[in-house]
Structure 1
Amino acid sequence: MAKLAKMQNLLSRSMGWAVVSMNIIIFCFLTDESHCSLQHVRSAKKIGDSLNFLVVGDWGRKGLYNQSRVATQMGRIGEELDIDFVISTGDNFYENGLTGIDDPSFEESFSGIYTAKSLQTPWYSVLGNHDYRGNALAQLSPSLRSQDHRWQCERSFILKYTIYPHDLQSGGGSADFFFVDTTPFVDHYWKPSKNTYDWRGVLPREKYLNQQLQDLQVALETSTATWKIVIGHHTIRSVGSHGDTEEMIHQILPIIEAYGVDLYVNGHDHCLEHISSVNSPLQFLTSGGGSKAWRGMKEGANMEGLQFFHNGQGFMSVQIQATLLHVVFYDVEGSTVHELNLLKEGLSVS
């Protein structure tokens, strides 16, 4: 309760594997769809020793800028790991999102690119700032799922997995994934510019942001998962060309550090990187190398906690067990360029 009171104060100041069942349960706790935030919960089970998935971001360029090469390596690694799903960290379609549900870019940048058998799994996606430049509602539309069953895109939602090992003598584990719509938090996009943004369903902004923050706080407070992972498009910490996102540092970071989040996973910067928090066990992972890259580091970037930076295309894999989380970063050739292992100490496997 002390944590809850602390976070309420912060909020007021800031304003199958085999899937056992292919039926993913969806709940919505509020009926105001225009502000429905982290209130969609999808639950699934995994029978196997680990939950395996890939993460890629900033990819939708009709195969150009090495998108097709990255897709090929994703297919290979996906097969080796027998992945359960893919996470997209946003900026799914360049330069200006989709024009509508019939935009051929959906086929040209997604369905016709990620064709490997191993990638025919759910793609859980968030919107990036470039997606908001187009028809954002199109990417959220069930019509796209009828075109390609893999496409699972919402503004914000929670994905809950329970892991059941083959060896029933061993304890299982669980992982909660909190997908957050980060673009509306960034002040820059609300200022007059040559770009326009589709804010339908987001206005009034203050109400929308407050709802997101409150939902995230409550969801993390009540989560009993072994592993907690938050996914958003924008960086919190990064040494890439965009660098740190101040709005995320001030509004999102205090919440996820207070409630023991293990990973914050993002795109936005077109690179691969790993930064460790100096204040908590939280790890910041950037997987934004799905296509156009090579932007280099931000001049004067905060290098505190930097563990790894790759100025090029690529993606990452994550394997989650009851007490171990294993991350691998791959370059455009599919070669391993960095690894991370997190161990949950004090957890018994019995």
Structure 2
Amino acid sequence: MAGIHDKFLSLWLVLTSSLVATYAELQTFEHSAKNDGSLSFLVLGDWGRRGAYNQSEVAVQMGKVGEKLDIDFVISTGDNFYDSGLTGEHDKAFAESFTNIYTAESLQKQWYSVLGNHDYRGNAEAQLSKHLRKVDSRWLCLRSFIVNAELAEIFFVDTTPFVQSYFTNPEGQNYDWRGIGSPRAYIAKIIKDLKLALRESNAKWKIVVGHHAIRSVGHHGDTQELVEKILPILKEYNVDFYMNGHDHCLEHIDDTESELQFLTSGAGSKAWRGDVQETNSGHVKFFYDGQGFMSVQLTQNEADIAFYDVSGSVLHRWTTSKLLHSSA
């Protein structure tokens, strides 16, 4: 009987360890807020073009705004390197599109990045490697993870595998799906981990970041897979902001059924697509089809969001309170 008991015990340990590995929580990085408890950061997307398409000009203005706001870090919403990500860990495009472009003193802070669909068209694993962190210590890119910044918790979600059309390659593009395995199981794991993390979060502000838009009036429009699978979770757990890139524009849309705000910052370089979707399920508060970036300032009671163009001019500013919501 003892032998049978030991076999069942061994089997139980294998099964439980497998469950832990399959449903592990998202990796969390701690980032301290300022001494007064406030937090400020910049949000940029769709940028890596070796300085072309006004990428360098946007970087200059980011440096100025970053200094003025004394930013704590920068968020990249994906499509970090065009047109097809990096070829490997030693690709010169990393320095030519990142290190040599964002040189301002204020931008020498941690950059938290997610992968975009163009990043998946190259060597996606390269951007996740620890080698790049050694090349430039600012760089931190993972598929899905959490930044706990005391005042706010920021949940980064790998949205590219959610989009079914990328697996059928209608445009003849190849994607680096290493590390994904079964797309269905991968997506299920992200959803499970996101729900768990949001449910356990006690942060004053909850922010979710992904590459693809949930709501957008830009070129790509809404991402239906995210509308179906991610949006209900954001509403259920009272997420304040969903931030994304993908559409090469700046936009602010509010949800018609909750306090959730959709903020697109995907104008880090090539923009001016010139087309706008006529229908959308949210209320469009701001749209700009040109290059620029976004800033976020948070205190215990207030959030201030601003969008800037390539010359550093403020195009749209919106302020909200946990107690009273208002816009300016």
**Offset at residue 313 of structure 1 (A):** 0.3
| 1:266-281 map, 5 Å | 266-281=244-259
Whether 1:104 aligns to 2:81 is no
User: Paired residues, what number?
Assistant: 305
Supply the AA of the counterpart residue of 1:256: L
- Indicate which of 3, 28, 40 corresponds to 1:41: 28
Q: For residue 302 of structure 1, report the CA deviation from its aligned partner.
A: 1.7
The whole-number CA distance in structure 2 between the counterparts of 1:224 and 1:58 is 31
Higher-Rg member (1/2): 2
- The correspondence for 2:287, drawn from 309, 318, 341, is 309
Mapped to 2, the partners of 1:31 and 1:181 lie a distance apart of: 20
1:301 deviates by: 3.1
In the TM superposition, 1:162-241 aligns within 5 A as 162=150, 174-193=151-170, 194-241=172-219
AA aligned opposite 2:128: L
Deviation of the 1:254 alpha carbon: 0.3
Specify which of 280, 283, 288 is matched with residue 266 of structure 2: 288
Give structure 2 stretches of 5+ with no counterpart: 1-17
Cα displacement (A) at 1:43: 1.5
**Do structure 1's residue 332 and structure 2's residue 314 form an aligned pair?**
no
Q: Which residue of 2 aligns with 1:83?
A: 71
More deviation in 83-92 or 289-298? 289-298
| Structure 1 segments unaligned to the other structure (5+ residues) | 1-28, 163-173
Give the superposition deviation at 1:38. Answer: 5.4
Cα distance in 2 for partners of 1:176, 1:97 equals 28
Q: Which runs of 4+ in 1 moved over 6 A?
A: none
* Distance in 2 between residues matched to 1:330 and 1:79, nearest whole Å: 14
CA distance in 2 between counterparts of 1:31 and 1:56 reads: 34
Instruction: Say whether residues 1:56 and 2:80 are aligned partners.
Output: no
What are the superposed Cα offsets for residues 196-219 of structure 1, whole Å, 9 maximum, x if unpaired? 000011111111000000011111
Partner SS for 1:247: helix
The alpha-carbon deviation at position 36 of structure 1 amounts to: 8.0
CA distance in structure 1 between the aligned counterparts of 2:169 and 2:207, rounded to whole angstroms: 34
Q: Secondary structure at the match of 1:215?
A: helix
Which amino acid in the other structure matches residue 189 of structure 1? Y
Tell me if structure 2 keeps the 8 A contact 1:235–1:266.
yes
Aligned residues of 1:38 and 1:178 also touching (Cα < 8 A): no
- Kindly provide the amino acid, as one letter, of the partner of residue 108 in structure 1: E
Deviations 1:9-64 (A, max 9, x none): xxxxxxxxxxxxxxxxxxxx9875xx787510112322235201000000000000
Please name the residue that 1:150 is paired with. 138
Specify which of 104, 115, 126 is matched with residue 114 of structure 2. Answer: 126
CA RMSD of aligned residues (A): 1.6
Are 1:245 and 2:233 an aligned pair?
A: no
Distance in 2 separating the partners of 1:197 and 1:178: 24
Q: Give the corresponding residue for 2:147.
A: 159
- Structure 1 distance, partners of 2:37, 2:179, is 40
How far, CA to CA, are the matches of 1:106 and 1:30 in structure 2? 37
- C-alpha contact 2:144 2:156 (8 A) present in aligned 1: yes
- For the residue of structure 1 that corresponds to 2:32, the secondary structure is strand
Deviates more, 1:273-282 or 1:37-46: 37-46
Q: Find the aligned partners of 1:36 and 1:331 in 2 and give their Cα distance.
A: 41
Contact 2:147 2:154 in 1 (8 A): yes
Query: 1:165 aligns to what?
Result: none
Query: What SS is found at the alignment partner of 1:45?
Result: coil
Matches within 5 A, 1:5-44: 32=21, 39-44=26-31
Per the TM alignment, residue 340 of structure 1 is displaced from its structure 2 partner at its CA by 1.1
2:319 alignment partner in structure 1: 341
* Distance across 2 between alignment mates of 1:62 and 1:80: 26
- Percent identity at matched positions? 57
Change (3 A) 1:335 1:154: same
On the 8 A contact 2:215/2:282 being kept in 1, the answer is no
Structure 1 Cα separation of the partners of residues 272 and 259 of structure 2: 29
